[in-house]
Amino acid sequence: MSVDAATVRRIAKLARIAVADSEVEHLQGELNAILTFVEQLSEVKVEGVEPMTSVTPMTMKKRDDVATDGGNADAIVKNAPNIQDHYFLVPKVVE
C-alpha cells in the first residue's frame, strides 16, 4: 500500500492537523515508511508463540475472587463527615 499526496492531505484534514504544502512530500515518505514496516511485521511467524506479560518469565499475581463485607466498615467511614449505619451520607444533588 502506498500513500499519495491527496491521501496525506485527507489524513491531515481528518486529524485536524494543519499541513503546509511544503510538508506533504515529507509526510508522504514518513507514512509510506510506517506502512512498509507494518507490512514487514505481518511476515513474522507467530504460530505457537504464547502471549507474554513481560520479557522475563513470570506468572501473574492473582488472588481468589471472593466477595466479602470488608470487615472494617468502622475504619472506612471513620473520617466521613456524615454517616448513617456505615453508609456515607451525601447532600442531595438532584431534585
- Determine what percent of the chain is predicted with pLDDT higher than 70: 100
Chain CA centroid to CA 17, Å: 22
Q: How many domains does the chain have?
A: 1
Specify if 60 maps to a domain: no
What is d(CA 26, CA 72) in angstroms, rounded to the nearest whole number?
62
pLDDT in tens, 64-93: 888 887 778 888 888 899 999 888 999 888
pTM recorded for the entire structure: 0.49
Residue 30 belongs to domain spanning: 5-41
Residue 24 covered by a domain: yes
Other residues' Cβ atoms within 10 Å of the Cβ of residue 35: 13
Q: Which of 25-34, 48-57, 75-84 has the lowest mean pLDDT?
A: 48-57
What's the chain's Rg over C-alpha atoms? 28
Alpha carbon separation from 52 to 20, 58, 63 (Å, rounded)? 42, 9, 20
